[in-house]
Amino acid sequence: MTEYRDPVFLKPYFQQNIWGGRRLETEFGFSIPDGRIGECWAVSAYPGCESTIANGPDAGMKLSEFWSREPEFFGDLPAEYRAAGYPFITKIIDAKENLSIQVHPDDAYAAAHENGARGKTECWYILDCPEHAELVLGHNAGTREELRRMIGEHRWNELLRRVPVRKGDFIQLEPGTIHAITAGVCLLETQQSSDITYRVYDYDRLQNGKPRELHKEQSIAVATIPAQDPDKMVLHTDKAPAGQMFELVKCRYYRVGRLPISGRATVGRARSFRIVTVTEGNGTMQTAGKDAPLKKGDSFLLPADSEGAEFDGTMNLIVASPVL
């Protein structure tokens, strides 16, 4: 049996999107394919979009394989949880153009209508955005019939709500929330490992000469009505003190925190694995007496039951862990 005490760094999978840009290369230093690259699947075991291990004895191994081969790395997880596969996707999203207006189902709807897939709860930490940026969050329909009517009549300006955001803001999106990332926004997404998206509206854009498929019926079926007040969904984190974990959310699937570092900081022991992304700056990490350099764009997994990690530098970390 291999002793896994070292953190595992991941090599991302990159995805082309009609709305993508080049900032994953220019701002994050990734070597990316040509074209419009909208998504860096930094930590993912989603079939066809997997990250692979970048360091240590298992370099080159897919995360899904590592998940099933090295259960101790991830902690003492319930058998059913383990059997369902690595549970999250951590993505960096570069929206050069607007993303479609969309909504995701919850576990129950996805299980019943999408061949037993997971639903999609997701959350966003804003890495960068233009001045006066707004996200699409929620809607103004009072009933499902009204939602159906407004969608049918293309009354998008009346229907959709928008909320101002700035760098460092955090938003938790429960399934059923109608939402869209807008042009110029770059964010870190932590989500359930699911790719089920119902597109409500795509700004009448064409991809290869054709509009992308819409899923109006499914969207109407899963949308939360009335919608949550979008102003109450945005958490500002710019006052988070350096050296301390600032909790962004704890929901039924995950806990996510922000750890701004200026000098030294530590994270302690935990019973299950943690996912860490360096969203800004650089520095070093020390675990079990070993040093590893860290830079913006790095994502790694900290093993369960390790002594934790000590950081030194000027960085911002986003740290996620499972809720069981």
Contact of 9 with 53, CB cutoff 8 Å: yes
Indicate the burial class of 178 (C-beta count within 10 angstroms; 0-12, 13-18, 19 or more): buried
- Order across the sheet with 134-139: list the strands: 160-164, 134-139, 179-180, 101-103, 198-201
Contact of 268 with 306, CB cutoff 8 Å: no
Based on its alpha-carbon atoms, the radius of gyration of the chain, rounded to whole angstroms, reads 20
The Cα–Cα gap between 324 and 57 comes to 29
- SS3 of residue 116 by DSSP: coil
Contact of 248 with 235, CB cutoff 8 Å: yes
Q: Choose among 29, 58, 61, 63: nearest CA to 43.
A: 63
- SS3 of residue 299 by DSSP: strand
- SS3 of residue 80 by DSSP: helix
Catalytic residue selected from 23, 118, 161, 199 = 199
Active site residue 161: no
Tokens of 136: 């699409």
The Cα–Cα gap between 163 and 168 comes to 15
Neighbours of 139 (CB within 10 A): 27
Task: Please give the positions annotated as active site.
Answer: 199
